[in-house]
Chains A and B, each alone.
Chain A
Amino acid sequence: MAVATETEKPRPKLIPWTEKLAALPWWALLILLGGVLIVYFIYTSPTYQDAFSFLISGVRLTILVSLASFVLSLVLGLILGMGRVSKNVVSYTISSLYVEVVRGIPMLVLLIYFAYVVTPIGLQFANALGAFILQNLAFGPLIRLAEYLVNLNIQGVDMMVRAIIGLAFAYAAFEAEVFRAGIQSIERGQMEAARSLGMSYVQGMRYIILPQAIRRVLPPLGNDFIAILKDSSLISVLAVRELTHLGKLNRARTFRTFETWNTVAFLYLILTLSLSVLVKIMERRMSFEE
């Protein structure tokens, strides 16, 4: 065999056109095509146009409910997640119990349970607390608070609020696990270094561990926001006028099943796909920084 000399250039490798075609993201193109088709229908067909203009207000509510319950679930999840890594037996037990119980119950059941069981019971507690304050501690600004608590009424609590509470408390269990994983992914040496400088456990968590852990869990949290947005369709059983519920109403109103649910699914897809693109960008930026 002759050794390759410098004059012998390696021949450019030909990639067969079939392989080039196979490498294209066809799934994305097909989704785009479907989207174009539905947009075309919405512009040309009166039934689609009707369905679209009826449903679009539900999109606003879906986003509102998802955002509100997501923010609340982040706060609850962070507290629970810190409990899960705590060495304190009480806080570890309470948060583990909560996470295991909530994750073991179907989302739909949880939502109904929070709306029709937990919220009324919570209100009764608030009423009782208010009455107790009025009888025993009635002075100054406490009276205003007590009167507010006594006058709380289950009819006054909107179904949307109950749905947000339900979604938030259900998702708090999942966020807790995300935060726990994030905190545990930070090397032990970080907390040791913080403690060796005289910081307390709380200071070490706040200034050293959590800032690093939260950056690491941003992509999974983004995915959970997409999940909460999809699961917000379940609150249609509570008759909150979000996208899915409006879908049901529109079908009952017009008997146009195809057009209605095509549009509903299309609107959800727009939301979730654009969000997942954002999460992918976030993930890529994280991997560059590490």
Chain B
Amino acid sequence: MKSNTVYGEGSPGVAELVPRDDDIIVIEHAYKSFGKTQALVDASLRVKRGEVCLIFGPSGGGKSTLLRCINRLENPDSGTIIVDGIPVTGDKCNIDLVRAEVGMVFQLFNLFPHLTVLRNVTIAQEKVRGRSNKEAERIARELLERVGIPEKADAYPGQLSGGQKQRVAIARALAMNPKIMLFDEPTSALDAEMIKEVLDVMLDLAKEGMTMVVVSHEMGFAKAAADCMVFIDGGRVIEEGTPEEIFSNPKEDRTKLFLSQILE
């Protein structure tokens, strides 16, 4: 049986978890609590290969926690998460191998301040992918060109604006040739005029068919690029649907209320 070989023994609910082939991320019944706060309550989510999925909802609702469970920056208390066929919640999973395939962009950029922009983009390529310095630099320069800041290769992160930092962070993640990109509120820490330059890069990525899971309130980006939208509140997935469904005809009252508040 296929599920046994893929998921290993002892994963809960293996039988019901046979994914369709195009599901690259499967989250089933994830629970997570920090002390007494319930961050995730029975959260389930499926993302297809090549899909752009936007997660939105009030702050403290568990959006980021759900995203961070995908590359196990948070370990769910229970539930099963499968990324590209590998159950990351399993004991035998080598999480470093999965993380190399899953790029992540953080709200506060998290660039390495002691390294130049170029080195920020090359270091993981060399240490994790085992590329030569020359090859890593070639790839890094290409990517910096693509995100529009080739001239900043030798600068340090401290000398960049917020938008430039976030674009370097995207280049750093892309340098690993990830199959999935996770964005954790990538524009929330940016000034209004810098949001566009980051969103433009993300739109390009979406057009190229990258699988993306984005936690964001950028509804313009959702309309332009998202294939599915997920509304999360109180740690639960309240509603899921295409942007058309969510914007024109939300089923749940909480979704309606939230959308009316942020779309004012």
Partners in one complex: yes
B73 touching A196, Cβ below 8 Å: yes
* Distance to closest chain A CB from B86 (angstroms): 13
List chain A residues, Cβ under 8 A from B113.
212
Contacts of B173 in A (CB 8 A): 196-197
Q: Does B213 contact A (CB under 8 A)?
A: no
Question: Who on chain A is nearest to B68 by CB?
Answer: A192
> What separation, in Å, do the CA atoms of A197 and B178 have in the docked complex?
9
What chain A residues lie within 8 Å of B41 (beta carbons)?
none
Which residues of the partner chain A approach B127 to less than 8 Å between Cβ atoms?
199, 203, 207
Cβ–Cβ contact A198 & B114, under 8 A: no
Render A174-203 as a binary contact track against B, CB cut-off 8 A, 1 for contact.
000000000000010110111111111001
Whole-angstrom CA separation of A275 from B101 in the bound complex:
49
Known A198-B124, A199-B128; judge A189-B99 contact (CB<8 A): no
Is residue B246 within 8 Å, beta carbon to beta carbon, of the partner chain?
no
Contact A189 B110 (CB under 8 A): yes
Give B75-106 interface residues, CB cut-off 8 Å to A. 96-97, 99-104, 106
Q: How far is the CA of A146 from the CA of B169 in the complex (A)?
A: 54
Q: How far is the CB of B179 from chain A (nearest CB, A)?
A: 12
* Chain A: number of interface residues, binned into ranges: 10 to 19
Is B258 an interface residue when CB atoms closer than 8 A count as contact?
Answer: no
**By the criterion CB–CB under 8 Å, are A198 and B96 in contact?**
yes
Does residue A208 face the partner (Cβ distance < 8 Å to B)? yes
Q: Does A211 contact B (CB under 8 A)?
A: yes
Kindly state whether residue A215 has any CB partner on chain B within 8 Å.
Answer: yes
B123 touches A190 (CB 8 A): no
CA–CA, A83 to B129, complex, Å?
28
Contact B112 A198 (CB under 8 A): no
Known interface pairs A198-B97, A198-B100, A207-B123. Does A193 touch B112 (Cβ–Cβ under 8 Å)? yes
Complex partner residue of A189 from B108, B128, B129, B176, CB under 8 angstroms:
B108
Task: Contact check, B114 vs A212: say whether CB atoms are below 8 A apart.
Answer: yes
Q: Give the Cβ gap from B18 to chain A, nearest Cβ, in Å.
A: 28
Question: Is B172 among interface residues, defined by CB-CB distance under 8 A?
Answer: yes
Distance in angstroms between the alpha carbons of A277 and B73 in the assembled complex: 44
Q: Which residue of B lies closest to A196 (CB)?
A: B104
Distance between Cα atoms of A200 and B95 in the complex (Å):
9
Chain A residues with CB under 8 Å of B106's CB are 189, 192-193
Contact of B110 among A192, A203, A207 (CB under 8 A): A192
Residue on B nearest A289 in the bound complex, by CB: B158
| Chain A residues touching B, majority SS | helix
Give B131 Cβ to nearest chain A Cβ, in Å. 13
Residues of B within 8 A of A207 (CB): 123, 127
Q: How large is the interface on B (under 10, 10 to 19, 20 to 34, 35 or more residues)?
A: 20 to 34
Q: Which residues of B contact A194 (CB under 8 A)?
A: 112, 124
- Tell me the bound Cα distance from A180 to B128 in angstroms: 26
Tell yes or no: B71 within 8 A of A by CB: yes
Q: How far is the CA of A189 from the CA of B113 in the complex (A)?
A: 12
B176 A197 Cβ-Cβ under 8 A: yes
- Given known contacts A192-B73, A203-B127, A207-B123, A198 and B176 CB-to-CB distance under 8 angstroms: yes
Question: A192–B108 Cα gap in the complex (Å)?
Answer: 12
> Closest A-chain residue to B120, C-beta based?
A193
Most buried by B among A192, A198, A200, A208: A198
Our pick among B97, B103, B108, B123 for the contact of A196 (Cβ within 8 Å) is B103
A261, B113: Cα distance in complex, Å: 49
- Chain B: minimal CB distance from A59 (Å): 37
Cβ proximity bits B44-86 to A, threshold 8 Å, 1 near / 0 not? 0000000000000000000000000001010000000000000
**Smallest distance from the beta carbon of B80 to chain A beta carbons, Å?**
21
B123 contact set on A, CB distance < 8 A: 207
A200–B123 CA distance with the chains assembled, in angstroms: 13
B172 — which chain A residues lie within 8 A by C-beta? 197
CB nearest to A203 among chain B residues = B127
Please name all residues of chain A whose beta carbon is closer than 8 Å to the beta carbon of B112 when the two chains form the complex.
190, 193-194, 208, 212
**In the complex, what residues of B have CB within 8 A of residue A208's CB?**
112
How many Å lie between the Cα of A107 and that of B104 in the bound state?
Answer: 49
Residue of A nearest to B99 (CB): A198
Chain B residue, CB-CB nearest to A215: B114
CB distance from A182 to the nearest CB of B (A): 13
Cβ-defined contact, B99 with A211, below 8 A: no
A193-B103 Cα distance, complex, nearest whole Å: 10
Cα of A51 to Cα of B108 in the assembled complex, Å: 62
Residue of B nearest to A198 (CB): B100
> Is B73 within 8 A of A200, CB to CB?
no
Provide the residues of chain A in CB contact with B71, threshold 8 Å. 196
Q: Which of B215-229 contact A (CB under 8 A)?
A: none
A187 to B108, CA, bound (A): 11
Given contact pairs A198-B101, A199-B96, A207-B127, a sample of 4 additional A-B residue pairs in the complex whose CB atoms are under 8 Å apart = A196-B71, A197-B103, A197-B128, A198-B128
Of the A-B pairs whose beta carbons lie under 8 Å apart in the complex, a sample of 23, sorted by A's number, is A189-B110, A190-B112, A192-B73, A192-B106, A192-B110, A193-B106, A193-B111, A195-B99, A196-B71, A196-B103, A197-B124, A197-B128, A198-B97, A198-B100, A198-B124, A198-B176, A199-B124, A199-B127, A199-B128, A200-B96, A207-B127, A212-B113, A215-B114
